[in-house]
A = this chain, B = another copy of it.
Amino acid sequence: MPINRSFAAAAFAVALALAVPARAAEPIYAPNVTTFTLQNGLQVVVIPNHRAPVVTHMVYYKAGAADEVPGKSGIAHFLEHLMFKGTTTYPDAEFSSRVAAVGGNDNASTTDDATSYYQTVDKQYLGLVMGYEADRMQNLVISDATLLPERQVILEERSRSIDNVPSSRLSEAMNATLYMNSHYGIPTIGWAQEMAALTADDARAWYNRYYTPNNAIVVIAGDVTEAEVRPLAEQTYGKVPKRADPPPRLRPTEPVPLAARTVTFSDPRVTTPSFRRAYLVPSEATGTTTEVGALSVLAEILGGNSMSRFRKLVNDGLATGLGASYFGGGLGDGTLNIAGSPRGDHTVAELEARVDQVLADVVKNGVTEEEVARAKKGVKAAVILAEDSPGSLARTFGSSLARGETVEYVQHWPDRAAAVTLGDVNAAAKKYLDIRRSVTGYLSPPPDVKGPA
């Protein structure tokens, strides 16, 4: 099941960043979203959309990899896998096949800050899948018989998606380098040596600590109304007893970074050299709304659209690709990311030098009103598009609420984003495009630049 992470999931990162800026025509984002809370503390969010007779049903647990204790990396994601392995009610790992049997599909995802499960089904089966989710919220069976083979599965997933993918390896090392004080430097999927040692006791402790209704948010988007959802929620989730008070979510702050860092990963499988850079910047959770909006617009101006500063370098034939994105969707600090590959005979060093010129110019001379207006306009279209997608809205509300925001706060994104000014963008550039805040990663074929390897 997928892992989302700052470097690893550019698509997800962009989706969140794009959701920030303004939609001038409407004062409120997704205005018909409502929410209510059951007696056991479970929060339900309803996002009506009647275009098609389907619903997306998601449950978010406020527990992700960054909640893991030292030495137990990977347990958040491992538990996600174990959630499909059977309950006392349905012992035969039949969750997905039961969803498929009614024509639906399902999956799950673990990030640093949340674990989510989702199904898309014909609306008549909503109550059914809510029942399945409520069942595995309280009746999960964790035994060595299912855990030990599944541990092999997550190790193979790590091997396939990280160890055998040079760019993922680089991302992992860059994250470990960028984050100096928080768990965000540890890969969401876990370190192999720790994953291999996870036990049934570890899984049970995690499940009992976090998989309790008062730590869950259910998001239902599609062809439903709150009036229809409420009785279904009472009959399913409403019957799950509260089992624990989850511990406070420790998110140690990062010190102000004062030394520029690089990471070089060489691998025979690399055919095209490339580089990336990540600057440590505030997130929705750690920054001011002004800074977060400004960073989102700045990323768009640098490398987000067809008239971006970086696009010019691509057009000049210097790079096959060069982009920028902002990831601010975590409970801890986020990243402003740059990634590029030189074209033809151009070198990474040459491309990086040109990128640094662009950045230095933005820091020194600022961007223009026109660029800010274009960036806001560009993202507006994406937001309108996202608002039409029940699945996308469900993810936006689910992940925002899982990091402690309210429905109302999410709905007021447009006001905050519309308020971003040229001055805000230029101030953010000056403050955050500081090489000392960054890690630059190089992906290259061997041999390394220097030293024995």
Contact = CB atoms under 8 A, between A and B. Distances in A.
A265 interface: yes
B73 A452 contact: no
Contacts of A71: 250-253
Contact of A353 (B193, B436, B448, B450): B450
A183 B69 CA distance: 12
Given A259-B263, A452-B364, A250 B70 contact: yes
A387 interface: no
Contact of A261 (B194, B262, B359, B438): B262
A52 interface: no
Nearest to A175: B180
B183 A70 contact: yes
Contact of A260 (B191, B353, B360, B451): B451
A262 to B, nearest CB: 4
A191 B255 contact: yes
Contact of A173 (B176, B191, B258, B450): B258
Contacts of A257: 173
Among A262, A356, A434, A448, max chain B CB count under 10 A is at: A262
A278 interface: no
Contacts of A441: 259
A221 to B, nearest CB: 35
A143 interface: no
Interface string A436-453: 101001000000101111
A192 interface: yes
Contact of A259 (B69, B258, B265, B451): B265
A368 interface: no
A170 interface: yes
A433 interface: yes
A97 to B, nearest CB: 36
A74 to B, nearest CB: 12
Interface residues of A, number: 51
A451 B263 contact: no
A176 B180 contact: yes
Given A181-B186, A185-B180, A261-B263, A356 B451 contact: yes
A386 interface: no
A133 interface: no
A352 interface: yes
A360 B438 CA distance: 30
Among A181, A185, A257, max chain B CB count under 10 A is at: A181
A69 to B, nearest CB: 7
Contacts of A169: 258-259
B194 A252 contact: yes
A421 interface: no
A40 interface: no
A264 B263 CA distance: 12
Nearest to A248: B71
B69 A250 contact: yes
B450 A255 contact: no
Contacts of A176: 180-181
A356 B450 contact: yes
Contact of A433 (B255, B450, B452): B452
Interface in A204-223: none
Given A173-B261, A259-B263, 7 more contacts: A177-B177, A177-B261, A180-B185, A191-B252, A260-B263, A261-B264, A356-B451
6 contacts: A70-B183, A173-B180, A173-B261, A181-B186, A192-B255, A352-B450
